[in-house]
Structure 1
Amino acid sequence: MKIPNLEQEAFAALRACLQEIPFVQVELLEKESEKEQKSPEFQATLKLPTHDVPLVVDVKPNGQPLQARSSANKLFRSVGAIPGAYGVFIAPYISPRSAEICTQEDIGYVDLAGNCRLCFGQVYIQKEGKPNPFNEKRDLRSLYSPKAERILRVLLNSPQKAWKVQDLSVEAAVSLGQVSNIKKLLASRELIKTSPDGFWLREPCLLLSDFRQHYDYRRHQVFDFYSLKSVGEIEATLAQTCSDAGIRYALTGFSGAARYAPVVRYQRVMAYVADGVEKLALKLNLKAVNSGANVSLLQPYDEGVFYQAQDIDGTQVVSPIQLYLDLYQMRGRGEEAAQALLEQVIMPQW
């Protein structure tokens, strides 16, 4: 029987999921009509010692939440027409959010990475935590490119606001096409809601968590220095010097956390500087060092880091969203400081 390659792999993954149960066998049913042969859905029979269970399997090349919900709706109709049948969604990789949707909709799921959950009658199998081994780089490059990150920052800073594509394009300083593309990617992950008034974030925490996982502050160019002055003196001098010279800057890291949600003592000043880092260092009498630095100046890979920077007591500080992203990856209790910022500042604003 000739089957599309993805369908072959899907059936193999289903068998692999069930092979640990000695009393279970699974057989693939022939597709009889031309319509069935073209359909990504196939049927199988699960043979148990006491009876057979018809399986209706929907295979999709994408396991994002939107596809998982679509599959659940489709399987609901198909399973309803076959007494005693059980629906299974199969995709190359099924994200935790998609898995949650399948569980809520009472269908099974299997992916080619090895994650699965089948629950019916005497059968209960669940395997989770397998990472995505497949290439998602194209989508991720689109969703977490510098220009795309500008859009995400705007959405996360105003998660309840309904945005028109045109307005969001202006606010994020990106093209209409870029906003439309990001809107599609977010919709496929069920991260936005839409109405005639525009679109807004469904669950900002999920987007922020995903953003955090794909963000790397080390992409910025980092310059390390040493100063004999105290942290407070360095920060005050930095702020005054940049203000006088018209240099765009904003504190981040623990320097920023101390202004929003101070929970960690720190000994290193950290700030973004738009350009002219080396000239600024000369004005501040900073000495470049390879180790033992107490000042880190970051030249950002994109000016989006400055979006919604706040003036706190005369000093520019990055937005809580940007600060959270930076803090989470920092050693020396950075994750703890990020969590405090999330709980004390970000979530109350949402």
Structure 2
Amino acid sequence: MPAYKEHKQELETVFENLINQIPGINDLRIKSTSNGGILYGADIDQPGQINGFEAAFVTPSNEKWIVCVLTRASGEPRLIRESCARLLALINKSPERDKLYPVVAATYISKRSAEICKEMNVGYLDLSGNCRFAFDSIFIEREVLENKKVEKRPLRSLFSPKSSRVVRIMLEDPSRAWQVQDLSETAQISIGLASKVKQKLLDLDLAMAAPGGLKLKEPEDVLHEWSREYSYRDNESLGCYAQGGIQELEEHLQNYCQLKDKSYALTLFSASNRIAPFVRGISMSSAFVDADLHLVAKDLGWKPVPSGANFLLLKPLDEFILRGIRTSKNWNGTVVSDLQLYLDLASHKTRGQEAAEFLLEQKILPRWKSTLSETG
């Protein structure tokens, strides 16, 4: 059986079980749109195939309603938005529209896709148990954190080391519209990969086609999505213990990297305390160093330790992690960019997310607002 037909049957079963759990529902009848009805001919995923079903029943308030469910093979935000618009257009053509409730169903509905459905007043349903129905006297909303049905992770591919270069440079200036050629050259990736990232951003409803090229829709949402997929722990790391105070050790690393001509930058709380102070009294410093970490530790006389470290060395998994490094007011050495600092902090368990949001409010959002107002 083709996958889309199998998913349609599964979604129909999930829907039926859900409706039957509502007290006071009577005379439930479900039919496929291939047999006629409001959605007849509303094929989207498969040319020549009708994906959807309609459920007629009497609600607890004794009103006759028809729920029109349009099923999709993919729940990517752009496709869900298109489905909602198509579904609403079909329903608005019907003389029975006051008693019709639109629902889109897919194998998995992400948070962003769910938000789109809410904005457009359309219900949703997926195979993991996420759902929302709000009509007549019925209101059901469930959020399941685990994605039980989908193994592919579109966001993971979007925020892989090479692909995330595109996201990084677009977030540096959200006011700018980009051509694929410019993205390719600036991100130092192939045209093919730049095109794939562009399409993925469009599919996920994170970007839009604007005059002049591709432009991010909601930069803050994009940054938050990226932070969910990234962790500073993804980089090679080496915890070390060394005699001396934190600032003294940072200066030793600075002098060493300058002498050896190695790129480096403080990150996590070592950097945030110099850029947007939030957590005081840190007991461990952290820095990216583009070098052999064990050799760095050996040359500095630092001892690698499995626990009790007071300095964390990180080797960037991609060279763009050190893009935009700069000095700060109280430190003539280098620190990571605000974007990288946000990502690193957001993945730190101990007050990191709070520090990341503070950085966002104090530094990143004001800069974005400034660039957007200049171009607006």
TM-score for both structures, normalised by structure 1: 0.93
Cα distance change, pair 333–22 in 1 and its aligned pair in 2 (3 A): closer
* Match in the other structure for 1:344: 362
Distance 2:225 2:263 in 1: 28
* Match in the other structure for 1:89: 104
* Match in the other structure for 1:191: 206
1:32 lines up with 2:35 in the alignment: yes
* Match in the other structure for 2:45: none
Amino acid at match of 1:306: L
* CA deviation after TM superposition for structure 1 residue 160, in Å: 1.6
Task: Name which of 313, 321, 325 aligns with 1:305.
Answer: 321
Is residue 162–residue 199 contact of structure 1 (8 Å, CA) maintained in 2? yes
Pairwise mapping of residues 51-130 of structure 1 onto structure 2 (< 5 A)? Answer: 51-82=63-94, 83=96, 84-130=99-145
* Match in the other structure for 1:4: 5
Distance 1:205 1:35 in 2: 38
1:316 lines up with 2:326 in the alignment: no
Distance 1:176 1:57 in 2: 39
* CA deviation after TM superposition for structure 1 residue 271, in Å: 0.7
Cα distance change, pair 104–250 in 1 and its aligned pair in 2 (3 A): same
Cα distance change, pair 137–48 in 1 and its aligned pair in 2 (3 A): closer
Task: Name which of 300, 303, 327 aligns with 1:287.
Answer: 303
1:273 lines up with 2:274 in the alignment: no
How many residues are matched? 349
Pairwise mapping of residues 97-176 of structure 1 onto structure 2 (< 5 A)? Answer: 97-137=112-152, 139-176=154-191
* Match in the other structure for 1:245: 260
Question: What are the Cα deviations for residues 160-210 of structure 1, in whole angstroms up to 9, with x where unaligned?
Answer: 211111111111111111111111111111111222301121111111111
* CA deviation after TM superposition for structure 1 residue 216, in Å: 2.0
Is residue 12–residue 53 contact of structure 2 (8 Å, CA) maintained in 1? no
Distance 1:48 1:329 in 2: 46
* Match in the other structure for 1:21: 22
Report the more deviating stretch, 322-331 or 246-255. Answer: 322-331
Question: What are the Cα deviations for residues 224-268 of structure 1, in whole angstroms up to 9, with x where unaligned?
Answer: 111111111111121122112111111111111122111212121
* CA deviation after TM superposition for structure 1 residue 136, in Å: 4.1
* Match in the other structure for 2:244: 229
* CA deviation after TM superposition for structure 1 residue 21, in Å: 1.1
Cα distance change, pair 51–262 in 1 and its aligned pair in 2 (3 A): closer
Q: What RMSD over aligned residues (CA atoms) do the two structures have, in Å?
A: 2.1
SS in 1 for 2:162: helix
Amino acid at match of 1:88: V
Please list every run of 5 or more consecutive structure 1 residues that lacks an aligned counterpart in the other structure: none
Please list every run of 5 or more consecutive structure 2 residues that lacks an aligned counterpart in the other structure: 43-47, 369-376
Distance 1:97 1:259 in 2: 34
* CA deviation after TM superposition for structure 1 residue 35, in Å: 5.4
SS in 2 for 1:314: strand
SS in 1 for 2:35: coil
Distance 1:80 1:237 in 2: 69
Is residue 108–residue 150 contact of structure 2 (8 Å, CA) maintained in 1? no
* CA deviation after TM superposition for structure 1 residue 91, in Å: 0.8
Question: What are the Cα deviations for residues 48-103 of structure 1, in whole angstroms up to 9, with x where unaligned?
Answer: 36342122211001122211211111111221233022211111111222222222
Distance 2:339 2:151 in 1: 25
Distance 1:18 1:257 in 2: 50
Identity %: 36
Distance 1:339 1:121 in 2: 39
